[in-house]
Structure 1
């Protein structure tokens, strides 16, 4: 859970930095760890995301912050660990203070948030957040994510396994995306995040890593072909 949320925050900061690079902002906020900034940021989220999504984010972030507070990481990452936990808590508090979100009940079996939504107006967030703050947020989250990757056994979830096996089977990205119910662009984002999670740079490396770990199998070409060719 900690890895997933740290990776989400890293994605978030990278996209804001990309918006800065495109000429949006820069914003003046440098104290992005407090509730005040998060309430301003949430107003941007609310332009494109439903209140129920916010409620899910708050619940998920609260659980992760509590989990992080219950363990003691290596001293080398302790400061970054505390900052990420504080950031998650501030986001949750900001959402809980919003009357449109606070009273909503999250249904059982609700969406497990693994990717930052593409519909968020990152250019608006870039107009709030100072570039130095975006870089600090990225580096802090990246340090926690790296610690989790190197200290924990990373196993792909069901959706990631389906993507990996499809690629191993030779499916084209467009066909795989259609079969799994995603747009091709969204599939590309899923794959990029997965390669980042595994610490590889390409599809070939990612599939090879998955095969080596025994997560997926490579079909026998002789069995998948037709006889008499």
Structure 2
């Protein structure tokens, strides 16, 4: 089937953090950690080892969310019709997502957690992950391949996504650019602060961004909003 804009946003919300994850591991390599000997990051064998590192600092409930989200995302990716230029990278990321989900599902502590209601992206990779330990597992070439592959897929999602934010997203971006706090912005737009947070989170996933700082900078660069002179950049 053809891929839709909303689905692209969901995919981007998963793939962009994987690219970030690989970059962090490469940074750990550059600081002298590892490198490890694992070269096949797409398979379950590596993900079982990586899961042990994740579990040191991340709660089972969060990992269950990751597994559910990744499993659904891998299923979506397998359903889309793609051109030949990207299909290899696309299939590798789908394999990666499925392998992560499978490794987490094998852990009884995670499997017993309640199934999340929605297959949401996990957003920015948590700072708590021991990237230095992952660097000791993964080879330098593998980290670079993961970064490059995720980058290709993320770029494809960005290019195929809707070209501009909708009216509510634009108003939210301009409010943030004006320096409004979330509570002020939510009140002006007629939303609860919690609903505004959801709007922003969905928007960051849609455009492959991590937070409001990146969102405003991206929106300014695209010419969608302007920053008043009295607002610190």
- For the residue of structure 1 that corresponds to 2:133, the secondary structure is helix
Instruction: Name the residue aligned to 2:188.
Output: none
CA pair 27-162 structure 1, distance change in 2 beyond 3 A:
farther
Counterpart of 2:222? 209
* Cα-to-partner distance string for 1:66-104 (whole Å, 9 max, x where unaligned): 000001211100000000000000000000111111121
1:25 and 2:34 equivalent?
A: yes
Matched, 1:11 2:20: yes
**TM-score (normalizing by structure 1):** 0.74
Residue 226 of structure 1 is matched in structure 2 by: none
Q: Report if the CA contact (8 A) 2:26-2:143 is conserved.
A: yes
Report if aligned partners of 2:73, 2:97 keep a CA contact under 8 Å in 1. yes
Query: Larger Rg: 1 or 2?
Result: 1
Q: Where does the alignment leave 5 or more consecutive residues of structure 1 unmatched?
A: 182-190, 222-229
Among 60, 66, 74, the alignment partner of 2:69 is 60
Question: Quick check: 2:173–2:215 contact (8 Å CA) kept in 1?
Answer: no
Structure 1, residues 142-199: CA drift from partner, whole Å, max 9, x if none?
Answer: 0111111112216669xx8787334421469xxx9xxx99xxxxxxxxx9x96868xx
Distance 1:32 1:195, change over 3 A: closer
Deviates more, 1:147-156 or 1:39-48: 147-156
Is the 8 Å Cα contact of residues 69 and 120 (structure 2) preserved in structure 1?
no
**Secondary structure of 2:110's match?**
helix
CA RMSD of the aligned region, Å? 3.6
What are the equivalent positions in structure 2 for 1:157-196 lying under 5 Å apart?
164-170=173-179
1:127 alignment partner in structure 2: 136
Q: Which residue among 22, 43, 68 is the counterpart of 1:34?
A: 43
Question: 1:195, 1:203 within 8 Å by CA — same for their partners in 2?
Answer: no
The separation in 2 between residues aligned to 1:67 and 1:219, in whole angstroms, is: 41
Report the Cα distance in structure 1 between the residues aligned to 2:138 and 2:161, rounded to whole angstroms.
32
Q: Specify every segment of 5 or more residues in structure 2 that has no aligned partner in the other structure, as ranges.
A: 1-9, 186-192, 195-203
Partner of 2:150: 141
Aligned residues of 1:68 and 1:81 also touching (Cα < 8 A) = yes
Q: Secondary structure at the match of 1:24?
A: coil
CA–CA separation in structure 2 for the residues paired with 1:20 and 1:95: 25
Deviation at 1:112, TM superposition (A): 4.7
Residues paired across the two proteins, number: 199
Q: Secondary structure at the match of 1:118?
A: coil
